[in-house]
Amino acid sequence: MLNKVLLDGASLTLEQTVEVARYDLEAKLSTEAQARVRASRRTIEELLAERRPVYGVTTGFGALSGTRITPEDSVELQRNLIRSHCAGVGSSSETEVVRATMLLRANTLAKGYSGIKLETLETLVEMINRHVHPVVPEKGSVGASGDLVPLAHVASVLMGEGAAEYQGSVMSGGEAMKKAGLRPVEFAAKEGLALINGTEFSKAMAVLALSDGERLVVNAEIAGAMTLESLHGHLEAFDERLHAVRPHDGQVRAAGDFRRLLSGSDLLAQGAGEEGGVHDPYSIRCMPQVIGAVRDALTYVSKTLLTEVNSATDNPLVFASDSVCLSGGNFHGQSVSIASDVLSIALASVGNIAERRIARLMDPKLNQGLPAFLVSRTSKEGLNSGLMMAQVVAASLASENKVLAHPASVDSLPTSANFEDHVSMSASAARKAREIVANVERIVAIEFLCASQALDLRGQKALGKGTQAAFARIRTKIRPLTSDREISEEIKTLASMISSGEIVDAVEASIGKL
């Protein structure tokens, strides 16, 4: 891991964003970005001197854009903008979301189209590096003129107001800046607007959800392979020839993953199988088609977010080479909103099909001779409920995801006296995506719990090379179920192993990258 990520407005990766957000990677501005920022600022000052009308610089905001503001009032205008927009409600955003938001805003400002002072941008970057984390309420953005409300809470600390977390304690923004050795900024003309007009809060949550979702899909493949084995499933449905004639990239890749995970297994059905069937139910047989479609959807989401991360989302935008400010709508979050909804729908599908596999493991009519609810064969019949409630919890989470997956991007409610008459709801879409990720992690954790128990009940037959690695890693932390016990902490432990990548790492050490 590098010590610092270079911000030039054009080459920030999604992986770097996650590293800054979660693992304290520091940031710094490139030399080229510094030059562009200075040139952009000079253009703003020239326009001010010429008293040309420029939205948000010499005018009011939104429906008040017809009101002219004198240069003498421009500083107060920017300060009032931030104060009036600090109206967020709800729980405070997680630190990783705040760090990603700050990083992404710094990167778009580094493109040099926003007219901000270099010193202001440098202070924002140093807030990241010195761990001054503004308290940003989760709710209040409609993703239209960007994420105005959450970004205002960030900008408030930058000017020494608001609240921030520093070294584990929440305090006033001014105190946090002082303790970190930073001087609050007095915003000049255009700067307040430059700091809050963009999609950074929405895309910060979306980038983090995507990162977790990509890892989650690999875990879902592993869990599904373990379930297939424990149900004496058929490998024929994963044959390379089948998928070559429906060559969606994700489907072909997923089928290949399953073949490698199950290579060498003695538990797979041969021919007609134990119950006479020649193939398996859809939740088993169609895993490559379902997970493959999810993989392809995540590819679209990744492409969209990577473009957005390195875009100029301010308004108006300053084109220094032409000495003009152009007012448009790059702040609108529709691209992030749709991508987040696609992510939500795709990952909800992962949870849906996993829950159906869990249900089959529970049912003695469908689980190929395993005990009902995977109760230990040594326990007294009827005395233990086994993993009955694990499936109930999975069903609860899968059903909740169906509500959460309703697209926010199709909603719109006019704001600002109907001046902002179509909004994206991108922050809501991204926040829901993160919630769905957490739910599906728990569903897949439950499948790991149940599939591991089922494999124990099958005895000592050889597992596939990949599934054996996963099973062995799980059994280092979760013991077999011999009699009823609380399993909430075990589900939590397995969910943590999913989010940390621990199970995937163990499998990939055995069979290579999935």
List, for residues 75-106, the tens digit of each pLDDT value.
888 899 999 999 999 999 999 999 999 999 99
Cis amide prior to 247 (ω within 30 degrees)? no
Same domain, 223 and 326: yes
The catalytic residues are 55
In a shared domain, residues 192 and 219 = no
- The domain boundary, picked from 198, 228, 244, lies at 198
DSSP class of residue 71?
G
Let me know how long the chain is. 514
Q: Do 398 and 482 belong to one domain? A: yes
361 confidence band (pLDDT: 50, 70, 90): very high
User: Is the domain of 88 the same as that of 124?
Assistant: yes
Residue 513 sits at φ, ψ, to 5 deg, of: -70, 135
- Co-location of 221 and 165 in the same domain: no
- Planar angle of CA 414, 417, 93, nearest 5 degrees: 60
Residue 22 confidence (pLDDT) above 50: yes
Where in the sequence is the domain holding 226, given as residue range(s)? 206-511
Output the CA–CA distances (angstroms, integers) from residue 206 to 14, 136, 188, 340, 481, in the order listed: 10, 16, 31, 6, 37
Q: Could you tell me which residues are beta bridge partners of residue 134?
A: 164
pLDDT band at 274 (very low <50, low <70, confident <90, very high): very low
Q: What was the pLDDT predicted at 378?
A: 80
- Phi/psi of residue 326, nearest 5 degrees: -110, 130
- Do 351 and 419 fall into the same domain? yes
Counting the structural domains of the chain, the total is 2
pLDDT tens, position by position, 413-463: 888 888 888 999 999 999 999 999 999 999 999 999 999 999 999 987 899
CATH code of 294's domain: 1.20.200.10
Q: Which residue has the tokens 């903008």?
A: 81
In this structure, are 266 and 310 located in the same domain? yes
Q: What confidence category does residue 265 fall into, taking pLDDT thresholds of 50, 70 and 90? A: very high
The per-residue pLDDT for 273 is 44
pLDDT band at 2 (very low <50, low <70, confident <90, very high): low
Query: Do 234 and 170 belong to one domain?
Result: no
Give yes or no for residue 1 having a pLDDT over 70: no
Q: Domain check: are 216 and 150 in the same one? A: no
> What CATH number does residue 147 fall under?
1.10.275.10
Domain boundary among 163, 198, 233: 198
Residues 293 and 184 in one domain: no
Question: What whole-number distance in Å separates Cα of residue 189 and Cα of residue 81?
Answer: 11
Of the residues 175, 198, 221, which one is the last residue of a structural domain? 198
Q: Tokens standing for 317?
A: 């935008």
Q: Are residues 171 and 229 in the same domain?
A: no
- What is each CA distance from 454 to 170, 325, 340, 380, 459, in whole angstroms? 47, 65, 35, 18, 9
Say if residue 59 is in the same domain as residue 92. yes
